[in-house]
Amino acid sequence: MKNIGFIGIGVMGKSMVRNLIKKGFTVSIYTRTKQKALDVIEEGALWCDSIEECVKQKYAVITMVGYPKDVEEVYFGQKGILENVSEGTYVIDMTTTSPKLSQKIYQEGKKKGILALDAPVSGSDIGAAKGTLSIMVGGDKEAFEQCKFIFEALGKNIVYQGKAGNGQHTKMANQIALAGAISGVCEALTYGKVVGLDLNTMLDSISKGAAGSWQMDNMAPRILKEDFAPGFFIKHYVKDLNIALEEIDDRGVTLNVLETVENMYHTMQREGKGEFGTQALVKYYE
């Protein structure tokens, strides 16, 4: 039960693999570039040369890749997960991706006796490293219960959201709320700067009151240090906001803050800033 396959060793995935190893799991890994995974291999992860090798004879397979097209690639086709896992395997996509795609994986997996969960996370690189991620899970309740011990190695706030795709819909709600929070922090800092406040002193005051938030506590200090390293890439956040816009457009609803912040981040991505962390939104105001 502690034999896990893990595909996608990026900023988040690497820390998640480390936490699984610390909790006693045997973790086989695959990613496109082995060089990027050498450190976790030295720490005990087992390298595999292909998806097929990585997913064979596993209790569960976790994916944490970049974009919906990457999810499609690793799950479908002759070399994909669904063609190569054993019947009864749990497949857990923790990528933030399209709810429609999560539903497709669930339905195709069900035909083969494979149990699929969509389980996107929130908490950035900090939560991934500390094992304190919030995890939002969609799929069959029984499958969730059978995999909860895996989620407990990765996060603290683990909530079953209902049917397949609901984990992703919940993550979209999270990303929409984040849009207002991070833009609010950046605008507050911009205002404080132009009126001549000491920004650290300002933050000491407003972060403890009604304006306080995770973004203010964790991202504002990075902004003041001009630390724009990605805990979460702008390019990935643009992807998430576009998914949210597609879902809400299908339902004939307008969300003005979502549209405005997506446009801001999209502008930054076009300017070559997609590799920065989301806190770099403050640069938009410069």
Residue type, 69: K
Q: What is the dihedral angle through the alpha carbons of 18, 22, 27, 29, rounded to the nearest 10 degrees?
A: 10
Sign of the Cα pseudo-torsion (19, 21, 27, 30, in order): positive
Pairing of strands 121-122, 133-138: antiparallel
Task: Choose, from 14, 58, 104, 171, the residue flagged as catalytic.
Answer: 171
DSSP of 125-138 = HHHHHHT-EEEEEE
Q: Nearest-CA neighbor of 158 among 126, 125, 122?
A: 122
Q: Nearest-CA neighbor of 27 among 115, 153, 117?
A: 153
- Whether 171 is catalytic is yes
Residue type, 24: G
- Going from the C-alpha of 191 to that of each of 25, 198, 268, the distances in angstroms are 48, 11, 20
Tell me the CA end-to-end span of the chain in Å, nearest whole number: 52
DSSP 233: B
DSSP three-state, residue 273: coil
Measure the CA–CA gap between 124 and 171, rounded to whole angstroms: 13
87, 135 contact by CB (below 8 A): no
Spell out the long-range contacts of 20-25 with Cβ–Cβ below 8 A and sequence spacing 24 or more. 20/150, 20/153, 20/154, 21/45, 22/153, 23/153, 25/150, 25/153
Tokens, residue 5: 């396959």
For the annotated catalytic residues, the residue numbers are 171
